[in-house]
Amino acid sequence: MKGSKEEIKAIDLRSDYKVNPIGIHNVAPRLSWRMTAYGKNRKQSAYQIQVFKKESDIKEVLVWDSEKVYSGESVNIPYKGKQLASRERVYWKVRIWDEKENVSEWSEEAFFEAGLLNKTDWEAEWICAPEKAAAVYFRKVCNIEKQPKSGRLYISGLGYYEAYLNGKKCGEDVLTPNRTHYTERVFYHTYDITTAVVHGENVFGVELGNGWYNQKDKINEKKLWYGYPKLLFQIEIEYADGDKDVFISDENTKWHESPRIYNNIYFGEIYDARKESIGWREKDFEDLDWKFAGKAEKPGGELTKQKAPSDQKICELFPKKISEVTPGMYVIDFGQNMTGWVKMRVSGKEGDKVQLRFGEELWPDGKINYYSTGSGWKQQKDIYILSGKKEEYYEPAFTWHGFRYVEVQGYPGIPKREDFVAVHIRAGVERSGKFICSNALINQIQKASLWSMESGLHGGIPLDSPHRERQGYGGDALITAKAMMYSYDMHEFYSDWMDDFIDAQDKTTGFLPHTVPCQDGGGGPAWGSALIIITWLMYRYYGDTKSAEEYFDNMIHWMQFLQTGMEKGIVEGEGTDKDCLGEWSTPGEILIPPRFVNTFFYAYNAKLMTELAEVLGRSADAEYFQNQYNETVLSFRNEFYDSKNGRYSIGAQGTEAFANKLGAIRERELCEVKQYLEKHITKECEGNLDTGIFGTPLLFETLVEFGLGEVAYHMITSVTYPSYGYMITNGATTLWEYWEKEYGFYQCPANHNQPMFGSISSFFYEKLAGIKPLKPAYKKIEIKPAMIGDLRFVSSSVKTPYGEVCIDWERNEDEILVSVVIPPNTEAVLLIPGQERKEIGSGNYQFRYVACEK
């Protein structure tokens, strides 16, 4: 029956963006849900949240009741009950009222549970192997005297750990915990081990590797070394009668050298299967020859929950081709550039050594070209030494590689396809968006963009490259952040990384490093501005104001630092350092002046700061930054607008796009600037790109906004240098660092898997599909597809905090068909080319239009 309470419901309950999280450190989490409802124009008019504790299966104690709140908001509602204590779990549910005051049933219950919030909660000690070893096994027997009711494992291992209880791995993560500046923060994990712990003897085992904590084989930008591996764990068991037992890392924990006799995050592993301790993580294992652990120094950083997902195994790829390039040397082609590792099955004699070397390009003779992934002298490499068993299996644990090709040497016999599997590994962020269209090349560009961006998601850091540098460059990351937010749920990932910027900021000057947590590397004002731009994007795309509130004073400090490099309203450099980057990775020489790009970012930052200050109720700051924006745009216009030629600055490499994004182009200049830009692209650039990482996405956006969508489409679908299509037609399955196929040392590419040009993906969603949030978290949505070029259809969807928005459009010579899905409790503006603007509420819609002539 229409209007009945069964028609509406609150679903997908989340606490701080997670479903039923445990081990949280935010004692007042934000609560969110989605509304499900039939029909059109469905809205939430009010909600009621109840939070309660369960003292038994039948007894509940109310902790907080919001009572009925008249609001359409269902994203990031602050919990206002009593703050959580360590280990405390509370449950919550919500019911909602619709636009006609019909009330739903209560939702299904959800919960959130606190971790160890105080230093005094930790009884465990940091331990280590007193004798240095590349990787170490730790083992502890825990005797459980009664039937356990519940169990928790709190653990951190630096650099990486894998934990096991009674032989079963705890969790699905790999390469954990995520990377930080360990003297500031150290992540720990909480695992629910209730189903793994048993009455009687339990064996807890950990393998500990170097990770980023003990990395000193490669000096990249700066020396990255903190200390030798160390482990902290605390197992807490609760019984039905209320009693508890605690088992901790201490000097009674035993250790033994792992057969992983070498492990490095850049260069790989050496695994000697002859040294295996079979059954070490299970019962009935004799550990008499194992030694007792030593006490380790604390790493220095604050122990806190890791918000961003750890790396996970995402999918497996099988060999497309195996070639013998010289006698005994084979090259496996997996058909896709990627990050991860290779699992291998092998049989042979004891002591046989199989070497796997990884790369992304081949020389003409079929051998792997290692220069694109770092150097020719020390490659990404795994070595497996056989034990001599009938059949052996090897899989790495504490490294990952960037590769498409694998060179195999020393393999007994002839390698077969079924003996090798490539495991794609990246951060476990959820996919949230899809895009496909009628143009095969655009689909290939989108696919390559996603593979590149995924390849950069490791250890909670958006990396510049997955092999050579592996650092969190701010400029590379800020320019792809919007694209990432369309295709993936990135909030918690970026939230942790923004904390790295706060850790790294100079407390005196306000300077923000170009990379974090490394805190070194090349860049300019754009790179540190990732803190402001990504925080603003989290507000726009996820409705997150809490991050802006936490970081706002740090952002002010950064802007104050940039002011120290200003002269007459132009940002000449970073403080007194004038030798810094502006744009990066243009075709050929970078011609656009750094001071032009630097001033753009300062003014753009001021614009975003104004909006965030208004949202946070900081009116004085909003007024200040509005004035900063106005004054800087005026200085920018006066300094860089060339009225004689109708262009900005050099009139190349995207200068007009920068000016347009900034709002610097006056109405009376607009016609001349458009004409100049079109002429520059079609004549001087012959329809191809001349932009770098910042100008490229701005240029595509500007062309559509200028009514030059056909020019943008031609550029995107071009297959001549320099263009995305040039990469694809030259065999790229991921995007390159430079537009050139060959570059630099030995005429090899710097690398062929770099996420920064993946910013094009946001153009596909925002312009070709036309999906854009008009209000934070997509509370109001714009659907404004650019029907350009020879596109015949586009199909796209984005899972927003309020639900999934979808658009499918197709056209022929006679008509245009548009289907849209607007999630409940939101509204949309539909802007189809040549048609009247439509305001629509939630629901499923189909529209048919007569096609307009181009």
Q: Does residue 256 share a domain with residue 350?
A: no
- pLDDT at residue number 323: 98
pLDDT over 90 at 789, yes or no = yes
Q: Three-state secondary structure along 734-781?
A: CCCCCCCCCCCHHHCCCCCCCHHHHHHHHHHHHHHHCEEECCHHHCEE
> pLDDT tens-digit profile of 629-677?
999 999 999 999 999 999 999 999 999 999 999 999 999 999 999 999 9
Q: Does residue 490 share a domain with residue 361?
A: no
- Cis, peptide link before residue 299, omega less than 30° from 0: no
> pLDDT tens-digit profile of 508-522?
999 999 999 987 778
Last residue of a domain, one of 308, 323, 338: 308
Tokens standing for 95? 């019911």
Q: Look at 154-163, 210-219, 529-538, 658-667 and tell me which has the smallest mean pLDDT.
A: 210-219
- Under DSSP, the state recorded for 852 is P
263, 253, 204: which is closest to 228 by C-alpha? Answer: 263
Decide: 660 and 705 in contact? Cβ < 8 Å. Answer: yes
Residue 820 maps to which CATH number?
2.60.420.10
- Cis, peptide link before residue 517, omega less than 30° from 0: yes
Decide: 458 and 466 in contact? Cβ < 8 Å. Answer: yes
Q: Does residue 318 share a domain with residue 299?
A: no
Q: Does residue 822 share a domain with residue 689?
A: no
Last residue of a domain, one of 308, 333, 356: 308
Decide: 458 and 513 in contact? Cβ < 8 Å. Answer: no
> pLDDT tens-digit profile of 234-243?
999 999 898 9
Q: Does residue 203 share a domain with residue 108?
A: no
Q: Does residue 130 share a domain with residue 107?
A: no
Q: Does residue 790 share a domain with residue 753?
A: no
Q: What is the mean pLDDT of the chain?
A: 95
- pLDDT at residue number 374: 73
pLDDT over 60 at 780, yes or no = yes
- pLDDT at residue number 57: 74
386, 388, 393: which is closest to 410 by C-alpha? Answer: 386
Last residue of a domain, one of 427, 457, 484: 427
Q: Does residue 485 share a domain with residue 338?
A: no
pLDDT over 80 at 283, yes or no = yes
Decide: 29 and 90 in contact? Cβ < 8 Å. Answer: no
Q: Does residue 103 share a domain with residue 39?
A: yes
Q: What average pLDDT does the segment 462-481 reach?
A: 95
Residue 728 maps to which CATH number?
1.50.10.10
Q: Measure Cα distances from 48 to 11, 72, 92, 111 in Å.
A: 14, 12, 11, 16
- pLDDT at residue number 3: 45
Alpha-carbon distance 545 to 558, whole Å? Answer: 19
- CB atoms under 10 Å from CB of 35, counted, come to 25
> pLDDT tens-digit profile of 304-328?
999 999 999 999 999 999 999 999 9
Nearest 5°: the CA angle 837, 843, 847 is: 45
Decide: 598 and 577 in contact? Cβ < 8 Å. Answer: no
Q: Please list, in sequence order, all residues whose beta carbon lies within 8 angstroms of the beta carbon of residue 653, skipping any fewer than 6 positions away.
A: 583, 586, 590, 591, 592, 690, 691, 692, 695
Exposure class string for 309-334: b at 16+ Cβ within 10 A, else e: bbbbbbeebebeebeeeeeebbbbeb
- pLDDT at residue number 365: 95
Q: Does residue 789 share a domain with residue 648?
A: no
- pLDDT at residue number 2: 45
Q: Does residue 479 share a domain with residue 447?
A: yes
- pLDDT at residue number 702: 98
Q: Does residue 573 share a domain with residue 452?
A: yes
Alpha-carbon distance 6 to 3, whole Å? Answer: 8
Confidence of residue 459 (pLDDT cuts 50, 70, 90): very high
- pLDDT at residue number 364: 92
Give the DSSP H or E segment for 163.
strand 160-165
Give the DSSP H or E segment for 637.
helix 619-640
Decide: 497 and 474 in contact? Cβ < 8 Å. Answer: no
Residue 97 maps to which CATH number?
2.60.40.10
pLDDT over 60 at 376, yes or no = no
- pLDDT at residue number 187: 99
pLDDT over 80 at 13, yes or no = yes
> pLDDT tens-digit profile of 556-586?
999 999 999 999 999 999 988 888 899 999 9
- Which comes out higher in pLDDT, residue 59 or 773? 773
218, with CB counted inside 10 A (0-12, 13-18, 19+), is middle
Domain count, the chain: 5
Tokens standing for 581? 């980057």
Q: Which residues pair with 805 in a beta bridge?
A: 798
Confidence of residue 373 (pLDDT cuts 50, 70, 90): confident
Confidence of residue 619 (pLDDT cuts 50, 70, 90): very high
- pLDDT at residue number 184: 96
Angle of helix 655-662 versus helix 619-640 axis, rounded to 10: 150
Domain that holds residue 86: 5-113
Residue 202 maps to which CATH number?
2.60.120.260
Q: Measure Cα distances from 380 to 36, 357, 403, 800 in Å.
A: 49, 6, 9, 39
Tokens standing for 779? 């509370």
- pLDDT at residue number 222: 63
> pLDDT tens-digit profile of 182-228?
999 999 999 999 999 999 999 999 999 999 999 988 876 566 789 99
- pLDDT at residue number 371: 83
Q: What average pLDDT does the segment 687-709 reach?
A: 98
Decide: 60 and 87 in contact? Cβ < 8 Å. Answer: no
- pLDDT at residue number 851: 85
- Which comes out higher in pLDDT, residue 242 or 247? 247
pTM above 0.85, yes or no: yes
